[in-house]
Amino acid sequence: MLNTVATPHATPESLEPLELIGAKTLTCSVGIMAYNEEANIAIAIDAILRQRLASVHIKELIVVASGCTDATPSIVADIATREPRLRLIVQERREGKASAINVFIAAARSPVLLMVGADVMVKEGTIDALLTHFHDPSVGMVGGHPIPVNDDGTFLGHAVHLLWRVHDRLARQSPKLGEIVAFRNVVPSIPLETAVDEISIEALVTQLAYRLVYEPDAIVYNHGPTTVRDFLRQRRRIYAGHLRVRKEQRYSATSMSPWRAVRALFGSGSFRTPRAAWRTLCTVALEATARVLGHYDFMRRQPHQVWEVVASTKRNIADGANAHSQQNILVFHIADFHRRRLELGARSCRQMTQRVLEHVERGLGRTALVSVQKSGTIIAILPGERDDAEHAAGEVVRSIDEAPLLLNGHGDGISIKLACGMIAFSQAEQPLAQLIAEPPLIQAGSLTTA
C-alpha cells in the first residue's frame, strides 16, 4: 500500500530562517540514481560539477548505483578520488528507482535536494535557475524543462519532441515536473511502489502546503525512445504509475486532464504541414494505445517500480546536447530585390517575400527562429550541427531555384535566385562563416576572434 499522507520531519514554520531562504547562497545536495549507466554517468557528473553557480553551493553529489552489472560504480569511484564532493552509495540488488531515491534522501545533508537522471545532461545555468526559487519560503518543489535530442525528422523523433512540447505547454499553465527536480528536504521518503517518482514527490510536497514551480529556463537534454516498442513500454509504465498515484495518493498530474492535453497539443505547432499533422495523429494513436495498456496494468495491479530498461533511451547524450548548444545564423537574400520591387510593385513584392519566407520556414523546420527584413533579407537562427544547417540551407536555396513562386496576377509564377550566407557558432570552435549559393557549397573562409 502506498503511503497517502506525508509525514514531514520539517515544515515551513520549523525550518531555520537561513535554511529556509538563505542570506544569498543556497546549499543543496544533488542525487543521481543510476542503473547500468556507464555510457552517460561521467558526462552527467561533469555537467553538474562544472556548473558556474552564482547563488547556489553544491555541498555534495550522491550517486546511488542500484544493482549495476556494468562499470558504473567503478567509473563513479574513480571520479570520487579526484572530487571530494562526490559520494558513491552502492545497492547490491536493484530494488527500483524509488528505493534508490529513499537512500539518497536519507543520506543527503542539505536543506534543498536536487534529483537528476543519469541519462540526461544538465545545461549550464540550470541549477541556478532551479534553486533561486527557494528564496521564496512558499516554494516546495521546482522542475526544469526537458528537451529531447532525438532527430525530429523521424516519426519517433517527432513523437518524442511532440510529447515534451506538450509537457512544456502544460507545465507553464500548471506545474508538472520531471527529469530534473529540486525540493525542500521535508519529505522523509517516497512510496516504494511508485513508478513515477517525481509525481509522488509532487503529491507529498503539496500535502505540506508548499507551491510547485516550473522553470522553463532550467534546461536538461534527454534522449527519448527510438522504437515503437520502447515508446509504448515507457508510456504504458508512466500512465499506470499516474493512475496509481491518483488512487492511492489522491493526486493527479496536469497531463491526466484530457482537455488540457488536447489544448496543449493544438497549440504546439504540430499541424503546420501535412506530414507533421499525420505524424502527430499517429503519435496520439500510440499514446492512446499506451494509456489503454497502462490502465490494464493498473487494473491488474501489475507492479512497475522495477521496470525493464528502455534500451533506446540510453544513448550517449552528449553528442545530441552539444548539437543543441551550437547556433547557426543563416542570412537569405533575394537577388535583385530592388529591381523586382520596381517590376512587380510593392504589393506583389511583399507577397514574393512571404512565399520565400514560407519556403525557408518549411525547409529549416520548427527549431528555427526566422524573421524577415524590409530589404527582402531573411534571417534564421537554427540550433544544431553546422553540417546539418548547411545542408538544410542548401536545400532551401535549391528548392527556390528549381520551382517558380506562384503569385496572384502571375499565372506562370516567377523565378528568383536566393543567396545564403551562414555563420556557425560552437562552444568548442571558432565561428565559421560560409556562403551557400548554388551547389556545390562554396566556403568563404573562417572568422577569427581575439
Task: Tell me the mean pLDDT in the region 87-107.
Answer: 94
Q: For the chain, list the domains and their CATH numbers.
A: 17-318 (3.90.550.10), 326-446 (3.30.70.270)
pLDDT score at 311: 55
> What's the one-letter identity of residue 27?
T
State the number of CA atoms in the 13 A half-sphere of 34 facing the CB.
34
pLDDT beyond 80 at 48: yes
Lowest mean per-residue pLDDT among 27-31, 282-286, 337-341: 337-341
pLDDT at 170 (0 to 100):
92
Rounded to an integer, the average pLDDT of 399-413 is 65
Checking phi first, is residue 115 left (phi over 0); if not, alpha (psi -120 to 50) or beta? beta
- Looking at residue 4, its pLDDT comes to 30
Residue 159 near residue 283, CB atoms below 8 Å? yes
State the average pLDDT over residues 398-408: 71
Identify the pLDDT of residue 409: 54
Write the CA distances from 85 to 30, 41, 75, 108, integer angstroms: 10, 16, 15, 12
User: For the chain, what percent of residues have pLDDT higher than 90?
Assistant: 41
Under the banding of pLDDT at 50, 70 and 90, the label for residue 8 is very low
Which pLDDT belongs to residue 20?
A: 42
- Mean pLDDT is highest, among 197-206, 272-281, 301-310, 426-435, for 197-206
Q: Is 408 exposed, middle or buried (0-12, 13-18, 19+ CB in 10 A)?
A: exposed
Whether pTM > 0.85 for this model: the answer is: no
Mean pLDDT of the region 335-363: 72
Q: State mean pLDDT over 430-445.
A: 44
